[in-house]
A and B are shown apart, each in its own frame.
Chain A
Amino acid sequence: MSTSNVKVVNRVVSVEGLRKSYGDRERLHGISFEVRAGEILGFLGTNGAGKTTTIEILEGYRPYNGGSVSVLGVNPAHATRAWRNRIGLVLQECELDPVYTVRETVTIFSRYFRRATDVAATIEAVGLSSKANDRVGQLSGGQKRRLDVAVGLVGDPEILFLDEPTTGLDPIARREMWTMIEGLRDAGKTIFLTTHYMDEAEHLADRIIILRDGEIAAQGTAEELSATLGHQTAITFDAVAGLNLDELRVVMGRPVSLVDGLVHFESADVQHDLRTLLRWARKGHVTLANLQAVQPSLDDVFVQLAGESVGDRREVEP
């Protein structure tokens, strides 16, 4: 919210030094962050990083062991009914009753809230108007998930928690979900979004937090996160018989590796290094087959920061 000349950063969520243990094992090691009014915060991490633990603490489902948590000015550990009226939830795993229609489902949930939005408008907002009279059991996976979002929205919440809204959806359903969430962002909703897809966070979130083993590994906008990786570009080409790697290392002045038949090195100045490489190749009559210079993507940032591979999306292993 802002007035004409004073910009007020309105913190919807603020978390300071949050700790959570299950038995002897500490899962959250004192994390701090905030969510500002009107933004989508992307909370990213691999499975087991602590995303769900964090979101469930914010939602008032889990107690915590240390630090302070405030959601809409209230400690969720002492959730009141008035507070529940102001938040919207979309849980990671929830199967709505298949025997009711879409409209009946949204209607019954609307009754729980003091100031519910119009049921038809809410169904419209998630793109299910044509399915309003269909039973939940007849919906596709993506439609069910969007109905779940409608149920989270119907109380007109000041913050919406979306816990992995696209996990398990096919690519088209995923795109539809994105379009819908973009609509919510345009409408000014504050959203706390967990996901394990970097592209999803990059596409939807204003700011991104990367969680690793219960600690915040990085946070910032997508651009800022890209920058943290530095400007190292991966240069690769197919290795040929008789290639002298040691000579190339000397010429390039940096470590050069050979992985799966690909010669690989990192470059901070691509133009300069490519020129050096081409000169060396011409002199030694080496053919640089399949020569590539690959910029790091946000996926690479994620893989690097999350500390483990989330699938072999890269062609070249560093």
Chain B
Amino acid sequence: MSDLSLALAQTRYAVRGFLRDPTALGFTAFFPILLLLLFNAIFKGSTNFNGGHVPAPSYYTASIIGYEIMLVSFASLLVRVTTNRERGLLKRFRGTPMPSWVYLFSEIARTLIVVVTTVAILVAVGAIFYHVHLAAHLMIGLVTYTVAGVFSFSALALALTRVTATADAASAVGPLAATILAFLSGVFIPVAIMPSWMLNLGKVFPLEHMARGLQTAFLVPGSTGVTGIDLGVMLLWGVAGLVVAVSSFRWEPLASGGR
């Protein structure tokens, strides 16, 4: 079996495991759809964006897609890798001839598959219920930010596993970080009604840039939403995460002292 086919087999195995985990499935697949329906039931009508009036449902469709990308790539990946490491599974894998990259590839590929599937569902919900028009510029922006988001947030999640010793810690830190950033980034609350200091704080982090890029692609006619600064900040975080992950990733449980 070649390494590539091994990597694909490991990915299928990871996807199957994900589908059998009701917590992960509910949290990353159903929860965001619920959020989208809830926000659109609460905030009806229009909001201000980029100097004009835009329909709130389209705004939230774009925002929740951004949130979903972070939830799966960051929170869910952080929990899964930390859990497997705490179980001693990563150490076990490390003791087999499987190359290390195969495991990491499978987790990131699984992440990408889950993101693409759930984002497609959210886009479909937006198109069917909230009059989101799937124009070419929107699709270009969506694909660009999905790929950049999976890269950046996955790298950050792998970097953060260096400090999340237990699955409990990861389950607290991952969703908490995603939720706080969602508030700071105009995901849950429209940017038009947010204090500017909060928006400025949000701009430091990658979610704000991904959300704004997606909102622009969804709301501004003819615009892909892809800008050098938004994509640049995201990739900068991603590369920083990757550097930390590569230099500090641990395969053995962190809590164990090791005799």
A residues adjacent to B (C-beta < 8 A): 22, 27, 48, 50-53, 56, 59-62, 81-82, 84-85, 89, 91, 93-97, 99-100, 104, 108-109, 111-114, 151, 155
Verify A84–B89 contact, CB threshold 8 A: no
- Provide the residues of chain A in CB contact with B91, threshold 8 Å: 61, 91, 94
Verify B88–A111 contact, CB threshold 8 A: no
* Bound Cα distance from A93 to B6, whole angstroms: 26
Closest to B18 in A: A99
Verify B92–A89 contact, CB threshold 8 A: yes
- Provide the residues of chain A in CB contact with B13, threshold 8 Å: 100, 104, 108
Total cross-chain contacts (CB, 8 A): 77
- Provide the residues of chain A in CB contact with B1, threshold 8 Å: 111
Verify B97–A95 contact, CB threshold 8 A: no
B17 at the interface (CB under 8 A from A): yes
Verify B95–A89 contact, CB threshold 8 A: yes
* Bound Cα distance from A48 to B6, whole angstroms: 38
* Bound Cα distance from A97 to B21, whole angstroms: 11
B243 at the interface (CB under 8 A from A): no
Q: A97-B87, A100-B17 are in contact. Are A27 and B259 (CB under 8 A)?
A: yes
Verify A112–B97 contact, CB threshold 8 A: yes
- B97 → chain A closest CB, angstroms: 4
- Provide the residues of chain A in CB contact with B9, threshold 8 Å: 108, 111
B44 at the interface (CB under 8 A from A): no
Closest to B93 in A: A112
- Scan B222-259; emit 1 where CB is below 8 A from any A CB, else 0: 00000000000000000000000000000011001011
* Bound Cα distance from A152 to B225, whole angstroms: 51
The one of B21, B88, B92, B96 in contact with A155, judged by C-beta atoms closer than 8 angstroms, is: B96
List the 8 closest pairs (A to B, CB-CB), nearest first.
Answer: A94-B88, A95-B87, A112-B98, A99-B20, A112-B96, A84-B97, A89-B95, A52-B259
Closest to A55 in B: B259
* Bound Cα distance from A233 to B20, whole angstroms: 60
- Scan B1-44; emit 1 where CB is below 8 A from any A CB, else 0: 10000100110010011001100000000000000000000000
Number of B residues near A (Cβ < 8 Å) is 27
The one of A53, A85, A96, A114 in contact with B259, judged by C-beta atoms closer than 8 angstroms, is: A53
- Provide the residues of chain A in CB contact with B252, threshold 8 Å: 61
B99 at the interface (CB under 8 A from A): yes
* Bound Cα distance from A113 to B95, whole angstroms: 11
Verify B88–A81 contact, CB threshold 8 A: no
Q: A100-B17, A111-B6 are in contact. Are A94 and B99 (CB under 8 A)?
A: no
Other A-B pairs beyond A91-B92, A94-B91, A108-B9, 18, CB < 8 Å: A27-B259, A51-B259, A52-B259, A60-B95, A81-B99, A89-B96, A91-B95, A94-B87, A95-B87, A95-B89, A96-B92, A97-B84, A104-B13, A111-B1, A111-B10, A112-B93, A114-B97, A151-B92
* Bound Cα distance from A261 to B7, whole angstroms: 69
Verify A99–B97 contact, CB threshold 8 A: no
Closest to B99 in A: A81
Residue of B97, B253, B258 contacting most chain A CB atoms (<10 Å):
B97
- Provide the residues of chain B in CB contact with A108, threshold 8 Å: 9-10, 13
- B1 → chain A closest CB, angstroms: 6
- B250 → chain A closest CB, angstroms: 12
* Bound Cα distance from A96 to B96, whole angstroms: 14
- Provide the residues of chain A in CB contact with B256, threshold 8 Å: 93
Closest to A108 in B: B13
Q: A81-B99, A97-B84 are in contact. Are A48 and B259 (CB under 8 A)?
A: yes
* Bound Cα distance from A74 to B150, whole angstroms: 40
* Bound Cα distance from A203 to B107, whole angstroms: 43
- A95 → chain B closest CB, angstroms: 4
* Bound Cα distance from A3 to B49, whole angstroms: 85
- A116 → chain B closest CB, angstroms: 9
Closest to A89 in B: B95
- Provide the residues of chain A in CB contact with B16, threshold 8 Å: 100, 104
A-B contact pairs, 16 of them (CB 8 A): A61-B95, A62-B258, A81-B97, A89-B92, A89-B96, A91-B92, A93-B88, A93-B253, A94-B88, A99-B17, A111-B6, A111-B10, A112-B6, A114-B97, A151-B92, A155-B96
